[in-house]
Chain A
């Protein structure tokens, strides 16, 4: 396991050496999107319209934060289950999306698209949402405020701790990580 510091936007050079199980400390601008926002992005793509942000080399964090208490930047902000975004993801990767942050396993189609388009899927620690909120230094709603926690937020993060799950070589930490401990 290696530890890498990364900053967004991501490029092929920044991610091609990452392998499943590596720790990554991510800084820079990332965008949030969950189910409803993904559906809207796909609709825009199908209609040939502009997206709320350019996907090229960007990172999407699957998160619906809790509201910020007065004086705080954001509420708790841990990952949601990524597989719900699987049906939409290959189309976003084809548009240049480089990184995704969530939790839980991805579909075969997504894993193949990660290899094909050279991208990376990271896990954040589900349930460590208070801790992660400390890494978020700036928050701006850039689209669909009516969706509340499902809106698209532009976040600035500093030293967000992540684990590489799926890499460009087809490795999958969720498949491989358990093997040394599996006794059944």
Chain B
């Protein structure tokens, strides 16, 4: 006997949830990040670096208390959707619900509108839409929505390179380290570094972005990759760049790597750099 497990989710529910997630992601720093920065305050050997980290702590406390953005750059609204194949959305088009949620969230939450309509004509859309939406169809009857506002400063320091197989793991590591050094103070260290390796040109970039959603302290499930994450973090923290680039040993809080099979001729690597805020909030409907 077949049981119909279809779940019906209304347009309005999605819109309201996205609205709240936009605000929460911008007001409240992730608990995992707080713990990592508090640990870094203890370990940072530069007095100025330590002060910067303490300022970041005071900043997230104030932002949460007054419900104002952690950073004035409240980002491009990047949305990850995992849609169970037994989910049915009623009341309107899913992407319209997302964009209306972003519009409401950014307007009612006093978040900055940072999107322009056209890359070189550059007129602001005034509501931070359109969101950048990534959709995956998954088994089951749930809808998982993640809102990950991404700032422009750190995004501008991100990089992608099509390495070839001879470069190997060493080539991958070198490119990640080079990208972080190049970012230097611009991306507001301490950083969270998302790395995507394999797939193809666009898959690597998406993997790198998704890697930023992983909680700090949750390493890649493959122990060999987790080892690379740790080695790269150590190397990045030996660059001396430090908090805000003023010098110190807290340049990054974490390196998260995601991998995917790739073509016999290719070894794509993408590095998506995030600042300490590394914002993302998720809800499962």
User: Which residues from chain A sit less than 8 Å from chain B, CB to CB?
Assistant: 1, 21, 36, 63-69, 72, 75-78, 80-81, 83, 103-105, 123, 125-131, 133-134, 147-150, 161, 163, 173-174, 176-184
Contacts and interface: CB of A to CB of B under 8 A. Distances in A.
Greatest chain A CB density within 10 A among B56, B114, B244 is at: B244
A64 B153 CA distance: 12
B59 A127 contact: yes
Contact of A63 (B72, B114, B188): B72
10 contacts: A67-B112, A76-B72, A81-B152, A81-B156, A103-B153, A127-B71, A127-B277, A129-B73, A131-B58, A163-B48
Interface in B209-256: 235, 238-242, 244-249
B184 A131 contact: no
Contact of A103 (B56, B156, B188): B188
Interface in B31-72: 45-46, 48, 52, 55-56, 58-60, 62-63, 66-72
Interface in B170-184: 184
A180 B244 contact: no
B82 to A, nearest CB: 29
B126 to A, nearest CB: 7
Contacts of B242: 177-178, 181
A64 B68 contact: no
B158 interface: no
Nearest to A150: B124
Given A63-B72, A104-B184, 8 more contacts: A36-B122, A67-B112, A103-B188, A127-B71, A149-B72, A178-B240, A181-B249, A182-B240
A13 B256 CA distance: 48
B62 A131 contact: yes
B186 interface: yes
Given A81-B156, A130-B70, A131-B62, A173 B246 contact: yes
Given A123-B185, A174-B185, A67 B110 contact: yes
B79 interface: no
A66 B124 contact: no
A65 B110 CA distance: 10
A184 to B, nearest CB: 4
B160 interface: no
B244 A81 contact: no
Contacts of B267: none
Contacts of B73: 64, 78, 80, 129
B70 A76 contact: yes
A130 B59 contact: yes
A150 B275 CA distance: 22
Greatest chain A CB density within 10 A among B46, B111, B156, B188 is at: B188
Contacts of A131: 55, 58-59, 62
A180 B240 contact: yes
Contacts of A134: 62
Nearest to A163: B246
B111 A66 contact: yes
A127 B70 contact: yes
B113 interface: yes
B238 A184 contact: yes
A130 B247 contact: no
B240 A179 contact: yes
A83 B184 CA distance: 12
A105 B184 contact: yes
Interface in B110-126: 110-114, 122, 124, 126
Interface in B88-117: 110-114
B247 A177 contact: yes
Contacts of B59: 125, 127-131
B15 interface: no
A174 B184 contact: yes
A138 to B, nearest CB: 18
B76 interface: no
A180 B47 CA distance: 12
Contacts of B153: 80-81, 103-104, 126
Nearest to A70: B110
Contacts of A103: 153, 185-186, 188, 244
A62 B69 CA distance: 18
